[in-house]
Structure 1
């Protein structure tokens, strides 16, 4: 009798492409098993044209998938790690994180103008506060215009509007075969990506030992430890808050380097810092960086106190 495992995914082109990456590896490792794809519509999919900051609740791209995982309707869930809240349901766990693809944000512009070559007052399409507050520090003259929809829709909107450029995640574009659209890669030293950006996560029920055994083979240790530091940083600062918060970690030899920031929603108050720590204790390193930022003024920013802090070290 064949052994069948059901894999849950969102139905967007990018989400299914990411799930096929997982399926391809599972089929290579376990050709005797049958994997069945289940497409699940999430709240985020229903409101792609809405302002996500105004949608209540966490996990707008993951909650419905997790509910089906808990109920046993599916055995495995595939997510963009950046969509997963830092606090998972008690019944669930991340069993694997695939090797991280390119984590940077990128610029796509009309006439292939580079970031610093864009005209004064250029209109930039993005709905991400994380991107806006960082870009404002380099080009305060930019006008930011909300940009929503899936990745191909956002790219199409650039060429059918008065936008001068848009900002997107590099990994998503490249997975969709749209990397040729990229005008310029924005280095992580300039724009810190979203926590977990570029990483694909596999989630299972804690009590499903078979799914754990199968999926753990996909895990990449370097990516896992890096994003554990990032997620610990976000968890300590309050992963569900509306403030722009992010961190990016890499492993260098046996140490984790992590760079993070916290800002007010208008970008007027901004604190950024980086640190090194033991790669075998990623949560400790991420939490320590969060504590440093809190001492530098992030606590007042997160509490909404009337402060004007601009610190980068």
Structure 2
């Protein structure tokens, strides 16, 4: 970042602390963030301290998050550490962030987004259609469950929690026939070779925020904001503004299967949104486009429109 004679000096790397969950994927994302910051500012790779924080969501493995309290279970302990001043940057998978952050915290921006597609990991299939009749598929995502049930009403879906490695191992051991995971996470963990197939967006629209890493800071923390500026991705920020506004209007609290994906081309954006009933039989979808300056407003408008037109069974 360019400094002028009147600018305060950038805080040294050693004065910043990164907060993250302790899963292998969360740590990979935190280290990717640290690497980008080090490259941008010429810091040594080990100068940014990392505080690994165990969250309530990490402790719950026996039931869906929708029954335990929603997305905030993966963030509340990290939020508390940030508000207490223990950490400066909180690194989150954007799709894990609740639509409203606690007072005093803001999303400062996003790193460049990875591929948003879902990946099929299966023992004996290279597509959802190719899964054996009555196959057992593990997933904790209501969105993925609904999409699977819509495509294949015959399959059995079981709850699958745990980190990426745990889920892959259950498929490899034959405890389940298949699972769906985010391609972005598998790539960041160096596990893309375990993928049986990448699912096209028209077959499996991703979760809002999928593939994006969000950086949360304290509101008014100018030092952290200034340090972040060189690594933030404009287009990802615009796309996520549209997606998160869409999700907010639909009560995106893990109780309703919701998908949404926005893309940016120059000064225009395009957003596609999807609502499903939990059993996949009812569906509502639509899209919007417009200037990037209106991304959040038009995303919210699309969310309100879909909610009004949602068939019975989606909002029970």
Shared fold, TM over 0.5? yes
Pick from 81, 93, 107: which aligns with 1:80?
Answer: 93
Give the conservation status (yes or no) of the 8 Å contact 2:37–2:43.
Answer: no
Gaps of 5+ in 2: 1-10
Match of 2:189 in 1: 176
Match of 2:155 in 1: 142
Pick from 21, 25, 40: which aligns with 1:14?
Answer: 25
Equivalent residue runs for 1:1-313 within 5 Å: 3-32=14-43, 34-56=47-69, 58-240=71-253, 242-297=255-310, 301=313, 303-304=315-316
Gaps of 5+ in 1: 305-313
SS of the residue aligned with 1:115? coil
Give the conservation status (yes or no) of the 8 Å contact 1:260–1:272.
Answer: yes
Give the conservation status (yes or no) of the 8 Å contact 1:115–1:184.
Answer: no
Give the conservation status (yes or no) of the 8 Å contact 1:109–1:165.
Answer: yes
SS of the residue aligned with 2:120? strand
- Whole-Å Cα distance in 2 between the matches of residues 152 and 108 of structure 1? 12
Tell me by how many angstroms 1:241 deviates: 5.5
- Residues 104 and 218 of structure 1: CA distance in aligned 2, closer, same or farther (over 3 Å): same
SS of the residue aligned with 1:148? coil
- Whole-Å Cα distance in 1 between the matches of residues 26 and 20 of structure 2? 7
Match of 1:311 in 2: none
- Whole-Å Cα distance in 1 between the matches of residues 175 and 17 of structure 2? 44
Give the conservation status (yes or no) of the 8 Å contact 1:48–1:150.
Answer: no
Give the conservation status (yes or no) of the 8 Å contact 2:55–2:78.
Answer: yes
SS of the residue aligned with 2:63? coil
SS of the residue aligned with 1:276? strand
- Residues 254 and 158 of structure 1: CA distance in aligned 2, closer, same or farther (over 3 Å): same
- Whole-Å Cα distance in 2 between the matches of residues 234 and 113 of structure 1? 31
Give the conservation status (yes or no) of the 8 Å contact 1:6–1:38.
Answer: yes
Tell me by how many angstroms 1:170 deviates: 0.6
The farther-off stretch of 58-67 and 25-34 is 25-34
Q: Cα RMSD between the aligned structures?
A: 1.9
- Whole-Å Cα distance in 2 between the matches of residues 61 and 29 of structure 1? 29
SS of the residue aligned with 1:156? helix
Tell me by how many angstroms 1:269 deviates: 2.3
Tell me by how many angstroms 1:183 deviates: 0.7
- Whole-Å Cα distance in 2 between the matches of residues 43 and 98 of structure 1? 26
SS of the residue aligned with 1:285? helix
